[in-house]
Structure 1
Amino acid sequence: MKHIIILFFLIFNFTLSAQSNQFAGDYTRTLSEEGKHIIEYKLTLNQDGTFVFHSYTKLQGGTPPEENKYGKGKWSVKDNVITFSSNKSEDFDAKNTLDFTNSKARFVAKNPRDKSDKVVKTKLQFLESEIPWMKRIDIFKV
């Protein structure tokens, strides 16, 4: 009986880690107008449930002309929706100032049962965020 219970827990843990492997990785998005404006978003979802985010903005005639914003915290997934959270005492410092608490993003990928030639880029589509410019942003998996 002990062996059956141990086997059950091992299978359960492998299933959980396989699901997080699907979501973990690097995501990026670059919006630009040649020679004028650049906006870059980079998000890394780590296997251990943590994330780091970097936003770089360079606007011609902007004040300031270049801006870097950073954020970090933890992520979890349920039903292809990734929920982000940031702990004020651990995740905030002089560099990391973006608060991803209450941010949610939908994981979008081609269904494995879809055998058509249709190309679906794997992405995160932000649905909710207290960071106003993050709402409805798509960030594609690299």
Structure 2
Amino acid sequence: MKTILTILILIFNLTLFSQVDKAIGDYQFSITTKDGNLTEWKLTLNENGTFFFQYYSNVKFEIPTEKNIYGKGKWTMKDNLITFICDEQNDLDKKYTLNFTNSNARFIIKSPKNKTDQIIKTRVKFLKSDIFWIKGTEIFKIEN
């Protein structure tokens, strides 16, 4: 009985780790308007539990026209919910100004149970954040 229980626990843990492995990678979303304005979000989730985020915009009628805003910190995932954490002393400085503490995102992937031809792009959707303009943003995984 103990052997069966141990095997079931191991299988369950492997399933959890495989979801985290699937989340690791680069994500990007870009919008280009007819006027040639560009807005771009990039997120990298690293295997060691760190992340990097870049928001870039090039809008002709804003001052300054070009903006780069960065964030970094640590991330964890449980039940497809990614939690972002920033250490104010180590992760925030003149370059990395975005504080992702109190930010959560849903990791969305096509379920292995879904046998249809429906295409579901792997993505991260921000559900909650103190960064007001990131809530609701979906950033899609760059497939190699």
Whether TM-score is above 0.5 comes out as: yes
How far does residue 34 in structure 1 lie from its aligned partner after superposition?
A: 3.2
Per-residue deviation, residues 101-131 of structure 1 (Å, max 9, x unmatched): 0000001111111111000011111000111
Identity %: 43
Distance 2:134 2:50 in 1: 18
Per-residue deviation, residues 73-126 of structure 1 (Å, max 9, x unmatched): 000111111000100011011110000000000011111111110000111110
TM-score, structure 1 length as denominator?
A: 0.87
What residue is the counterpart of 1:26 in the other structure? 26
What residue is the counterpart of 1:99 in the other structure? 99
Per-residue deviation, residues 40-84 of structure 1 (Å, max 9, x unmatched): 000000011100001101111101100000000000111111000
Residues paired across the two proteins, number = 134
Summarize the alignment of residues 1-142 of structure 1 with structure 2, pairs less than 5 Å apart: 11=10, 15=14, 17-142=17-142
How far does residue 17 in structure 1 lie from its aligned partner after superposition?
A: 4.1
Task: Look up the equivalent residue of 2:44 and give its one-letter code.
Answer: T
Q: Is the 8 A contact 2:19 2:80 kept in 1?
A: no
Distance 2:63 2:79 in 1: 41
Give unmatched runs, 5+ long, in structure 1: none
Distance 2:27 2:81 in 1: 15
TM-score, structure 2 length as denominator?
A: 0.86
SS at match of 2:114: coil
